[in-house]
Chains A and B, each alone.
Chain A
Amino acid sequence: MINSSLKQLGQQLASKQVSSVELTQAYLQRMAQLNPTINAYVTIDEDKTLAQAKAADARIAAGDFGPLTGIPLAQKDIFCAKGWRTTCSSKMLETFISPYDAHVISQFDAAGAVNLGKTNMDEFAMGSSNETSYFGGVKNPWDFDRVPGGSSGGSAAAVAARLCAAATGTDTGGSIRQPASLCGFTGLKPTYGLVSRYGMIAFASSLDQAGPMAKSAEDCALMLNVMAGFDERDSTSVNREKEDYTRGLANMTGAQPLKGLRIGLPKEYFAEGLSADVAQVIETAIAEYKKLGAEIVEVSLPNNNLSIPVYYVLAPAEASSNLSRYDGVRYGHRAAEYNDLMEMYMKSRAEGFGAEVKRRILIGTYVLSAGYYDAYYLKAQQIRRLIAQDFVEAFKHCDVIMGPAAPSTAFKAGEKTSDPVAMYLEDLYTIAVNLAGLPGMSIPAGFAQNSEGKALPVGLQIIGNYFDEARMLEIGHAYQQVTDWHTRMPEGI
């Protein structure tokens, strides 16, 4: 049951082969057994969860239900959920109970989904390994010595270890796609503006975007159906007609369902920085796409090498301002002792934030300072436009872009913590997509044997044009009809 697709689970619930309470309990038991080791969840509240499952069963009994009613999901702890502790994996918000629901949470509530708990993450989503979490790192279910990626590391491990049917994540520079690659599942970062950011704790507002993390493209489509949609509380939410992201999936059958599809391979994605074992898996996956009818064209994203430096100006700039509200005045951590207001601010923030968060606040404050703004922030904004323009050019020659989602397979815990730049390079293939506001996804494409002889998952990244999620999901689904990487589970758990 734990390896079933969302569609299968939905059918079992609808036909009352299993109740939501039974299904939820199965996951809760698994969580009780595995979470102490994996540390995917930071908050579990069985009473709340089971109450939702009971309510879902009542809806099913009353015939008032949809595809996700009664399905147990994991929610990244970046989404405010009413009555739930919402921490962003920071000491700053260790005791914060949200009095309101994020848009994403209320959408899932309305759909009747069950919230299994809040998942671990890098503190305020700043990190690529989940190691900056105040609540400790998360184990990669494929190899407990290794990181799950980040920042959505808890959701990633929960999906990979089948501690949930599916999960939510957020992606500011790769935080859905890189963990999806490292943990071997399907993760989609939608077009900026497709999913409301209301109630999603801000890291870098112009880049943050919520998306689904699930076993398959089909599952992601069902999740996105619930998550996407206009919300007037988010001014950057795009007002467009709702679509059914599953609508084209059934057509992905036959010998060459992708006939005519032009896949662009950016030469910059297959250059220095990409490990050979990952490159090989990607090439094999591309070959599979050719068999499905796609044609391959080479494209270029000449400014891709600038995406990391640009990101590490813009994201910290926005973050330094977004995190100013954590001042100890109204909620969150406040130092126990202080002599005056300034000392209360300084001690509360010094105690409440971890090292990576402080580093980014410092960088962001610096680049926005008088005398530096033009050289850093403004210049970075200009280059950001060039990076977006690269994609506009590339999409003149292809329908989607493919490449790796991460430069290597999962690395060992502690391996990159002392070298921030090495950690930042984890997002070499994902950050430009956020800067351009484009949708990107990572699907399981195979395994690479590491030096210790362990097979670790590799993700293939698919980058689409704006609001092309439905097509991207079809393309992922077509591949998953002829491969079984997405059904593989880590052994022994």
Chain B
Amino acid sequence: MQWEVVIGLETHTQLQTKSKQFSGASTTYGAEPNTQACEVSIALPGVLPVLNKEAVECAIKFGLAIEAEMAPRSVFSRKNYFYPDLPKGYQISQFELPVVGKGKITIQVPATKNTEAYEKVINITRAHLEEDAGKSVHGAVEGMSGIDLNRAGTPLLEIVTEPDMRSAAEAVAYAKKLHELVQWIGICDGNMQEGSFRCDVNVSVRPKGSDKLGTRREIKNLNSFKFMQQAIEYETQWQIETLEDGGTIQQATVLFNPDTGETRAMRSKEEANDYRYFPDPDLLPLEVTEADKARVKALMPELPQALQARLVSEYQLSSYDASTLTASRSQADYFVATVAAGAEPKQAANWVMGALSAKLNAEEKSIVDSPVSAAQLAALLKRIADNTISNNAAKQVFEGLWAGEGEVDAIIEAKGLKQVSDTGAIEAIINEVLAANQAMVDEYKAGKEKAFNALVGQCMKASKGKANPAQVNELLKAKLG
């Protein structure tokens, strides 16, 4: 039988706010245990939550970014369960009425050996605000478990998709796209190691062609794209084999073990809690007006899809280039800055996606830490455009910029890379070359086009690479013509 995998994602993004979702305590990562736990974080008797306006702004930004329906009124509810790292005995979340409703994210699924790259629209079901729990710390004290409530109350936006993905590749493409988007609009730092961006993946399989969903298992807390890919592939295979062996899938929460590459059931959903959701009487319903949306929109950067369209229409870039350049906001910003500093757009795109990107990858640097600034790159490209240096020489200048050897013109000067564009000087070189290579000249005249290229090569060599190749071509053609 042919099987089809069906995947939906729930992503917890930690919002980049100064303080917690419902209190003034700081959200900085990595502080000493319980030093960022105020009376509200500890849930002392009598304390009350106050909604963080900054977190609401983040949610609105996300809603605007995915062109979502946003309810004018959403409600905070209590999700009741006992756990030592949940100080109130309930989590404040949104249940029936989330702040962000249905929206869409378009993903680019990369090409593989057997398939072409393609785009796909993933439907977002909802995104809601909630607070994070603390952490249980085992082993710090012999025979005891410690509780660190620094993270308790940290604001999260949980983003839920429809079960729209049909492969691990699509799921990873979605996760990456979302990861970029939340950083692009500045609501999440995207740090997966610190848990700022955590994905739960719901996986089920069904016979291809069936429109009924299979029973799903939820892979919890995947904190890298590589693990997500591995976990989904393993889980999919496991479910198919289980069904083909005549077994059934039980709804369950599973954990991925990166060491073995396997998924293993953590708890069966059958014993799942009844969370007894009800509206939190300590919080008023959250009102989001058109004016709020307009105000937040004004604070937002140009969105990737809008910028992409602009790069195509304004700069005449191909849609492939536009989509690659806008894969991250930092890269897009760099490109836009390079063009703003006077570089020709197509050339700037080639350099940013080509030489710069390769060098950054090789040295494992992020574009924001690039030793070559956008202004420097633009200056370099201008020197190519005005024929001061050749493309080849430009690569040497780029290396010099990377190594911090100075500004573009100084490096050209120091390395003697200035292109010779003086007609007289080039003619002199051509004359020498023609005199020394009569055989090639004869071949050319006999109709061998290749001989012409060889003569150009000789001229370039004679000029030590400094002659302007276009001029050499032109003058040589005139001489031989």
Contact = CB atoms under 8 A, between A and B. Distances in A.
A468 to B, nearest CB: 22
Contacts of B351: none
Interface in A187-208: 197-202, 204-206
Contacts of A100: 39, 44
Contact of A368 (B47, B50, B84, B278): B278
A145 interface: no
* Interface of chain B: mostly helix, strand, loop or mixed: loop
B39 A321 contact: no
A102 B48 contact: no
A8 interface: no
A194 to B, nearest CB: 15
Contacts of A323: 89
Contact of B82 (A96, A327, A331, A373): A327
B42 to A, nearest CB: 6
Contacts of B51: 235
B240 to A, nearest CB: 33
A381 to B, nearest CB: 9
B45 A365 contact: no
A234 interface: yes
B276 A368 contact: yes
A388 to B, nearest CB: 15
B481 interface: no
A327 B48 contact: no
Contacts of A326: 45
B282 interface: yes
Given A329-B84, A330-B147, A202 B90 contact: no
A330 B42 contact: yes
Interface string B28-59: 00000000000100111111111100000000
A102 B206 CA distance: 57
B278 A324 contact: no
B44 A233 contact: no
B48 A197 contact: yes
Interface residues of A, number: 44
Contact of B80 (A80, A321, A327): A321
Interface in A261-296: none
B87 to A, nearest CB: 6
A377 B278 contact: yes
A232 interface: yes
Which among A202, A320, A321 has the highest number of chain B CB atoms within 10 Å? A321
Contact of A235 (B50, B84, B87, B274): B50
A317 interface: yes
Contacts of B80: 320-321, 324, 368
Which among B39, B47, B90, B147 has the highest number of chain A CB atoms within 10 Å? B47
B284 interface: yes
B126 to A, nearest CB: 20
Interface string B264-293: 000000000010111001111000000000
A90 to B, nearest CB: 10
A77 B42 CA distance: 20
Contacts of B61: none
Contacts of B82: 324, 327, 345
Interface in A374-411: 377
Nearest to B81: A324
A99 B44 contact: yes
A327 B44 contact: no
Contacts of B276: 320-321, 365, 368-370, 373
A267 B89 CA distance: 43
B87 A330 contact: yes
A218 interface: no
A235 B50 CA distance: 6
A88 interface: yes
Which among A99, A232, A324, A327 has the highest number of chain B CB atoms within 10 Å? A324
A100 B44 CA distance: 9
A80 B278 CA distance: 26
Interface in A83-138: 86, 88, 93, 96, 98-100, 102
Nearest to A231: B48
A323 B46 CA distance: 11
A206 B48 CA distance: 12
A198 B282 CA distance: 10
B78 interface: yes
Contacts of B88: 324-325
Interface string A212-255: 00000000000000000000111110000000000000000000
A325 B43 contact: yes
Contact of B45 (A206, A325, A329, A377): A325
A86 B45 contact: yes
A426 interface: no
Interface string B147-160: 10000000000000
Nearest to A88: B45
A341 B48 contact: no
Contacts of A320: 80, 276
Given A198-B46, A235-B50, A325 B89 contact: yes
A341 B278 contact: no
B381 to A, nearest CB: 54
* For the complex of A and B, 5 pairs with smallest distance between CB atoms: A324-B89, A206-B281, A368-B276, A205-B281, A199-B46
21 contacts: A80-B46, A98-B45, A99-B39, A197-B48, A198-B48, A199-B47, A201-B45, A204-B281, A205-B281, A233-B50, A234-B48, A234-B50, A236-B284, A321-B80, A321-B90, A321-B278, A323-B89, A324-B89, A326-B45, A330-B87, A341-B84
Given A86-B45, A98-B45, A197-B48, 8 more contacts: A88-B45, A99-B44, A202-B45, A235-B50, A320-B276, A324-B88, A327-B84, A345-B82
